[in-house]
C-alpha cells in the first residue's frame, strides 16, 4: 500500500514540475527545458552514460576514463559521455542513437537518423521517417509545425497529398495530385 502512494506521489510531483515549467518561463524557455528533459529521458533509455569503471588496457592516462562499445574498451576525456566508438560527447552535446551507429550531436538539436535537425529560437525542424532513412523537415516556425509527407516535408500552411506532394491552401489533393480548388 505504501509503495502505491509513493508511485502516485512521484507522478503527482512530476506533473507539478511540468506545470511549473510551462507556467513560469517564456515559451522559448519552456521549450528548452522540456527539450532538455526529453533528451535526458532518451539518453537514459538508450544507454548513453557517463564513463564508468570499465577497465582499459593499457590503463587510461590522467584526465581520461575508460569507455566500452561492442566489446572494445578505449579512453576518453573525463567528464565526457560514452557514445559508441567516439571520443565521447562533451557537455554541449548529446549521444544520438537514431542512425547506423551512435554519434555526438548538438544538445539543442533533435537526433534524426545519421544527422541532427537544427533547433533555434525562431525556427525548428522535425525528424521525418525512421532509422537511416530519416530526414529533417523543412523549417517550421514556432507554433507552425512542419508536416512529414512520405519522403518530403510540407510547411504548416500546406497539406500532404498521398505522401508524395504538398498542396497549397488553394489546392485539394485528388488522385494523388494537387489540383486547384473549385470555388
Provide the number of structural domains found in the chain. 3
Q: How far is CA 60 from the centre of its chain?
A: 32
In degrees rounded to 5, what are phi and psi of residue 105? -130, 165
53: Cβ contacts below 8 Å, ≥ 6 apart: 66
Domain boundaries, position 24: 15-46
Of the candidates 5, 30, 46, which is a domain's last residue?
Answer: 46
Same domain assignment for residues 79 and 99: yes
HSE (CB half, 13 Å, CA atoms) of 52? 6
Chain segment 118-164, per-residue pLDDT in tens:
887 777 788 998 777 899 887 776 667 888 999 899 988 899 999 99
pLDDT of residue 59: 92
Whole-model pTM over 0.85: no
Which one of 107, 135, 154 terminates a domain?
Answer: 107
Q: For residue range 20-50, what is the model confidence (pLDDT) as tens digits? A: 444 444 444 444 444 444 444 443 334 444 4
List all residues 6 or more positions away from 3 whose beta carbon is below 8 Å from its beta carbon: none
Amino acid at each position: 500500500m505504501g509503495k502505491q502512494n509513493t508511485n502516485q506521489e512521484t507522478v503527482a510531483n512530476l506533473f507539478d514540475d511540468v506545470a511549473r515549467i510551462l507556467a513560469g518561463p517564456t515559451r522559448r524557455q519552456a521549450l528548452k527545458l522540456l527539450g532538455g528533459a526529453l533528451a535526458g529521458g532518451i539518453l537514459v533509455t538508450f544507454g548513453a552514460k557517463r564513463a564508468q569503471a570499465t577497465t582499459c588496457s593499457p590503463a587510461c592516462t590522467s584526465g581520461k576514463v575508460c569507455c566500452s562499445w561492442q566489446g572494445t574498451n578505449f579512453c576518453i576525456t573525463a567528464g565526457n559521455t560514452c557514445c559508441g566508438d567516439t571520443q565521447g560527447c562533451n557537455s554541449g552535446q548529446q549521444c544520438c542513437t537514431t542512425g547506423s551507429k551512435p554519434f555526438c550531436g548538438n544538445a539543442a538539436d533533435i537526433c534524426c537518423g545519421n544527422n541532427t535537425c537544427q533547433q533555434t529560437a525562431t525556427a525548428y525542424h522535425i525528424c521525418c521517417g525512421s532509422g537511416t532513412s530519416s530526414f529533417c523537415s523543412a523549417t517550421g516556425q514556432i507554433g507552425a509545425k512542419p508536416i512529414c509527407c512520405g519522403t518530403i516535408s510540407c510547411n504548416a500552411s500546406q497539406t500532404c497529398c498521398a505522401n508524395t506532394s504538398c498542396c497549397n491552401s488553394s489546392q485539394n489533393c485528388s488522385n494523388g495530385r494537387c489540383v486547384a480548388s473549385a470555388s
